[in-house]
Structure 1
Amino acid sequence: MTDDGTTNPLGQPIGAEVPGWEQRPHPPRTPIEGRICRIEPLDPDRHAGDLFAAVSADTEGRMWTYLPYGPFVEEDLYRAWLAEAATGSDPLFYTIVDTATGKALGLASYLRIDTRNGSIEVGHVAYPPALQRTIAGTEAQFLLMRRAFDELGYRRYEWKCNALNDASKRAAERYGFTYEGTFRQAAVVKGRNRDTAWFSILDSEWPAVRAGFEAWLGPANFDGQGRQTQSLADLIGLHS
């Protein structure tokens, strides 16, 4: 995909030109409205209570296994962590809010924000049980992608995870990311080695991914019990 046959006067292969490329803007601290959920900039004063209640439902602490922080067993400790996280611009944290109830359900962020080259990563995805395997959880990922590609004009969208985190790798593939490889001994997290699996979506791939998400999220794709008619991966494949 990256070898387009372009060469310089010396006959050496070089990359394709990117006509009119300009540095992209940094993501704003503004909401993103969806049908099932809304993405809001993290505000500990508004969101901490709901978020702590949501994460506390994960009594075994499974959602924290591959995150570099947590679990938080005391609300004051979690509020302090949220307060610090909310001040940063990279990572830039957002809260996932249920539009029907107004309750904050989970977190995600943009990070490794490279405005010069148009590359951005989604990460720090913290989905408590109430958000796992839900339409809202999937829509939240779509809303963040849509902002990065359609609103901000980024050309590369990344997903990285611990190579041992099979659930995260399956989610990346379901969302239309392409696996690019594993960086061995990439980090030490909670005193343990982390090999990091890399995935990406390019701007050239985004139209098919977007069409698949839009078809999957449409009310017609769900029966009276809320069960999907067609899978997201199949719908993305139909538009590729």
Structure 2
Amino acid sequence: MAYVNNYVAPPATDALAEWEKVKEQVLDPKVAYDLNFCYPVGELENDRVKLTPFVPAIHLKDWFQLSKDHGDLYRFMPFGPFDSEDAVGAWIEQRIHKDPGNVLFIILDKASQKIAGALGVLSTTRERMSTEIGFVMILPEFRRSHVTTNAVGLLFHWLLDDEKDGGLGLNRVQWQAHASNAPSVRAAERLGFRNEGTEKWQRVLVKGKEGREGVKERATFNGVGRDSVVLAICWDEWNDGGRQKVDGMMAYVKHSS
């Protein structure tokens, strides 16, 4: 039996060039921004923080100005730091907007009315009923505060609560951390994620990022390898005490701050 394999790899794209094609429309405040996410999405809030979808016409300039002097935000990220608003816009267009499984949120601190950070809901699939919380970037002023607990807690309720209770009713929410990023692993475990182990050489990062250097025998390897710690919380764990734990943490942070 004859067979063929006609696959042709798609050409590499120039993210900045692609951004220039859509930039004018995306940054026009009179044009509604299409989030292109696979589930209905809106603002999430309690009395401490508000999560609002990242809309470039509203948030791009402010986020770049607030984050540009804090390169540590991107130390363990597979992207950044960025040297211009256009670089941030190009990344959001290519990495977030074009993938219907991804949506990025800005975190607003209600007490100060300041942007406290950003975080994403990633790799979401209806078929698997799963998603990931990632790209968590908290600005220095709001670290070790109520922000992360409340922001992730709001996402938990949206993602894991039953549909009859206003949630999406997903089965699994994942968290991945660079194996060297111990604070991220601790934060996830504190919030109720269970450590499922470390995936070695899980992804390839660009040179200059922290990770494993390539070996001479692998001539095609042109970058840095990343080991990732994978953690998750599932619907049954959420219903079996996880929700109460997170709600208690949110209430405690509120009381103690």
* TM-score grouping bracket, smaller chain normalisation: 0.7 to 0.9
Q: Could you report, residue by residue, the CA deviation over 1:23-79 in whole angstroms, capped at 9, with x for unpaired residues?
A: xx9432311112211111110111123312321352xx1121111111123334334
2:3: which partner in 1? none
2:77: which partner in 1? 67
Task: Give the TM-score normalised by structure 2.
Answer: 0.70
Of 41, 44, 58, the match for 2:53? 41
2:87: which partner in 1? 77
What is the root-mean-square deviation of aligned Cα atoms in Å? 2.2
Structure 1 unaligned segments of length 5 or more: list them: 1-24, 227-240
Cα distance in structure 2, aligned partners of 1:157 and 1:86: 18
Q: 1:85 to 1:94 in 2, by over 3 A?
A: farther
Q: How many equivalent residue pairs?
A: 198
Decide whether the 8 Å contact of 1:94 with 1:107 is kept in 2.
yes
1:215: which partner in 2? 248
1:182: which partner in 2? 198
2:65: which partner in 1? 53
Q: Are 2:164 and 1:147 equivalent residues in the alignment?
A: no
Say which is worse superposed, 180-189 or 91-100, in terms of deviation: 91-100
Cα distance in structure 2, aligned partners of 1:183 and 1:219: 34
Q: Which amino acid aligns with 1:204?
A: D
Cα distance in structure 1, aligned partners of 2:40 and 2:112: 25
Decide whether the 8 Å contact of 1:64 with 1:70 is kept in 2.
yes
1:19: which partner in 2? none
Cα distance in structure 2, aligned partners of 1:134 and 1:220: 8
Decide whether the 8 Å contact of 2:204 with 2:224 is kept in 1.
yes
Cα distance in structure 2, aligned partners of 1:85 and 1:187: 15
Task: Give the TM-score normalised by structure 1.
Answer: 0.75
1:110: which partner in 2? 121
Decide whether the 8 Å contact of 2:38 with 2:101 is kept in 1.
no
SS in 2 for 1:222: helix
Cα distance in structure 2, aligned partners of 1:126 and 1:91: 16
Decide whether the 8 Å contact of 1:183 with 1:196 is kept in 2.
yes
